[in-house]
A and B are shown apart, each in its own frame.
Chain A
């Protein structure tokens, strides 16, 4: 084993005590106990010691994080949701800095002022570095998109589809109206379609005559016609007037194909143009598929709701958008400075608390006068306590408002104030959330370790009770043997036959999901393992000579059990106890994933199963939680293995 090969000389082969009598000598070495011996062996096992240290650190964190971390993990704070992890000292690194690279966010470039262009839903102030803009397309209707095509498609292959404008009334003799319809030449394929106009000769609600402008064909591209000519020339002879109500439509017949291809058409443009100043078709024109879709969904703009799909669906196809990719500082976005309207009383309170300093206009601040009021002299505003004052600067004083409350008149003074939000939340700087925040805007670091505390308390107490019951049960069963043993064995066999998940589910369904019930559910079958280990240990040791010797000296059963047999069998039992804790934490986590987790108290399992849903959007939550539980499990198992090897060296490396 050892690499150091010693040179063995003749001298080493001399017997240490050849002629001395040593049987009545006292040992020079100190006597060692079973535990001390095991301890010595354990310390040699480095990985187990490391595991023990990690467990110690985790336990300390679980104990102290919930005490010293003052972040609120009870109430929900929507604004602070999903902040990525931010660690002190990592501000200038690429990880754990509270920033995330956000990709392909639709960019709002609709404002004429270029400085106001921003990614939708993001704040320009908190963007770090350059915004990379790319041209892109979207198939979703968006107010920030332009262009695109409308895809009209039927629901089934046996359905026809099409698009049709609302009814529009115009004088066709007064002006020339030109119709232009553009169908996409690249995307359209194998679908016959027809362009038609419906003309209502006797008012908008009468029957209409169908005038086909383009016969069923697969001729894609631009179609233009003089709409006035068509309408006027196709009117019946009896009708002399020039003003008609018309509807323009495109119709795609059903395919009825056995392979399920559906009627569909990509339409780029449908517009009627005229030289007249007021074009009644103008609201009904569309050259922008996106506009069409948006306005249909927008109730405010009812006059624009001009399109009717004959059957089937319409969707935007390839609307053009600008997409932005950039690094975003989430903390700055929610904890930075913001302009807000603040009432005078809040400012006065801040002045009373010594946070800020300002003078009131003396001309109006005389209490004795009937129309006294508070008006700040803006130049005198000054931040006194830089650390706690959330009000940084007054930018604008709103004019006085008067509110009549019964007989009295109240003057209201509001100010635009720059508010520092992290100071407002009681932090002295932008906070560090080591594991980020969860879906309720709570510090996930605290949640995890708070949960770990619950899980560990559950684990340790359940393990303690399980060991106690298992010891007593196994000792009785193993020591006495015979009928008692057989009966007790049958009982444990039946109980052990029920999968633990079923026992736990049934218990929790019956008694609710609080801590006590969880403890009970874990105990119901948890002790069986210890009991069987204890029983077999008792079987092994009860027939030993030293037990017999003690019995012949008149020792009682209890003395034999507790003084002679149990201490010898304690090794595997201690190991079993340590190994039981990760098992309990695992069971608890599994039950939480079933949706029956602890209520009121957050456990590690509850914390994990809650953030499982955000695995795609905010993976740091589930990753940190999972890493902690994995670390815990590995450490406990390593520690337990080390203990087992220490207590029973002959088993080393067996499992």
Chain B
């Protein structure tokens, strides 16, 4: 088993490496984005690019027929820069990232601020939002699932199953639209936008309600469906029949045997849902004005700040890959019947 885990972890690292490399190369092949701002700012940006090995400075004056990628005019003095070939940029990038953890600087959003710093600043908000959504949806989903499974084919089950079908289908950006319309604009109970920092904690707490609700509706439905399916299967299993025949009441069998066993696959499910929430929150963050990595991705793309886009993409990719790995491994750890790495 240890060998299997090692193999899987290694594979994830290789996959991440390949994906990030491809992403970097593809991003670099895009038409170059000039930073916005005054010439000194631009110069600082290009000098950083030269230092990181993505560009070279060309000494002027230019020969006739000589072309450069970028000309910066600072107070009458002209500076010329050329991009180095993509593959050499890629090697420099590898060296920078591995040896110095330097992912480049933002060109447009926050000029000359390291991209990794921007991400680090925005990540906590997104994480907080997602974790709250997860903490809301796990118990609720579990609860609804249990109710539906125990009342199978009765009215509560029908109501819950219909609800699950509806909530699992509707995209979260549709939810947030309706929640905003109803709670923020119609009833005016909750803010219609993410409040700026420095407001009272009541205001801050209120701001979480709408996005958390929009994020967790789908997840609650997912958990409910999963728990219901798992529990119904166990409820009809033989060991439960045995438990009943030896004299346990239905309540005892459910709590002692059925619930515990149905919990097993929920753990990997939670991790799996977390990735779902994270990618689902991207549009929500943009719509609700939440300063997280999702809205950063959107603004970075619209502003063509490709360095920030690159780091954001890298973050999403690695989170996705490692969460997938955790899901696979946790199945084996939680449920000993699953033998990891076993041949089919």
Q: A residues near B, CB below 8 A? A: 493-494, 497-499, 501-502, 505-506, 509-510, 539, 582, 586, 589-590, 593-596, 612, 615-616, 619, 622-623, 626, 629-630, 633-634, 636-638, 641, 653-655
Q: Which of A493, A596, A629, A636 contacts B171 (CB 8 A)?
A: A629
Tell me whether B15 is interfacial, beta carbon within 8 Å. Answer: yes
What's the minimum C-beta distance from B9 to chain A, rounded to whole angstroms? Answer: 14
Q: Say yes or no: A626 contacts B15, CB within 8 Å.
A: no
| B173 CB–A CB distance under 8 Å | yes
Quick one: which of B30, B173, B185, B232 contacts A653, CB cutoff 8 A? Answer: B232
A596 lies within 8 A of B301 (CB): yes
Stretch at the interface among B77-85, B90-98, B246-254, B316-324: B316-324
Instruction: Give CA–CA (A494, B11) in the complex, Å.
Output: 9
Q: How large is the interface on B (under 10, 10 to 19, 20 to 34, 35 or more residues)?
A: 35 or more
Bound form: Cα–Cα A654–B225 in Å:
8
Binding site for A on B (CB under 8 A): 11, 15-16, 18-19, 23, 26-27, 29-30, 165-166, 168-171, 173-174, 177-178, 180-181, 185, 192, 225-226, 229, 232-233, 279, 282-283, 286-287, 297-298, 301-302, 309, 313, 316-317, 320-321, 324, 344
Q: How far is the CB of A520 from chain B (nearest CB, A)?
A: 14
A49 to chain B, nearest CB (A): 15
**Closest residue of B by beta carbon distance from A641:** B165
Q: Are A494 and B170 in contact (CB under 8 A)?
A: no
B282 to chain A minimum Cβ distance, whole angstroms, is 7
Say how far A559's CB is from chain B's closest CB, in angstroms: 25
The CA of A655 and the CA of B320, in the complex, are separated in Å by: 23
Q: How far is the CB of A609 from chain B (nearest CB, A)?
A: 9
Residue of A nearest to B320 (CB): A499
A638 touches B317 (CB 8 A): no
Contact across chains for B23 and A494 when beta carbons are under 8 A apart: no
In the assembled complex, how far is the CB of residue B107 from the closest CB belonging to chain A, in whole angstroms?
15
Asked whether B316 lies within 8 Å of A502 as measured between CB atoms, the reply is: yes
The reply to whether B301 and A630 contact each other, CB–CB distance below 8 Å, is no
Question: Are A498 and B174 within 8 A (Cβ)?
Answer: no
Assuming the contacts A494-B19, A499-B279, A634-B169, asked whether A619 and B27 have C-beta atoms less than 8 A apart, the reply is no
Given that A494-B15, A589-B171, A633-B169 are known contacts, is A502 also in contact with B317, CB under 8 Å in the complex? yes
A616, A619, A655: the one within 8 Å of B229 (CB): A655
Contact A499 B317 (CB under 8 A): yes
Contact in complex: B169, A619 (CB < 8 Å) = no
The answer to whether A616 touches B301, judged by C-beta atoms less than 8 angstroms apart, is: no
Q: How far is the CB of B267 from chain A (nearest CB, A)?
A: 18
Cβ contact within 8 Å between A497 and B324: yes
Residues A510 and B30 in contact in the complex (CB < 8 Å), given A498-B317, A616-B185, A653-B229: yes
In the bound complex, residues from chain A placing their C-beta under 8 Å from that of B344 are 539
B165 touches A637 (CB 8 A): yes
Return the chain B residue nearest A593 by Cβ: B283
Question: Would you list 26 pairs from A and B whose C-beta atoms are within 8 A, ordered by A residue?
Answer: A497-B16, A497-B19, A497-B317, A498-B317, A506-B23, A506-B27, A509-B30, A510-B26, A582-B169, A589-B171, A590-B173, A594-B283, A594-B302, A615-B177, A615-B181, A623-B181, A629-B171, A630-B171, A633-B169, A634-B165, A634-B166, A634-B169, A634-B170, A636-B169, A638-B165, A638-B169
Smallest Cβ-Cβ distance to B232: which chain A residue: A653
Q: Is the CB of B19 within 8 A of A498?
A: yes
Query: Which single residue of chain A is at the shortest CB-CB distance from B12?
Result: A497
Which of A589, A623, A630 has the most chain B CB within a 10 Å cutoff? A630
B177 and A654 contact, CB distance less than 8 A: no
* Inter-subunit contact A616/B19 (CB<8 Å): no
| Residues on B with beta carbons closer than 8 Å to the beta carbon of A594 | 282-283, 286, 297-298, 301-302
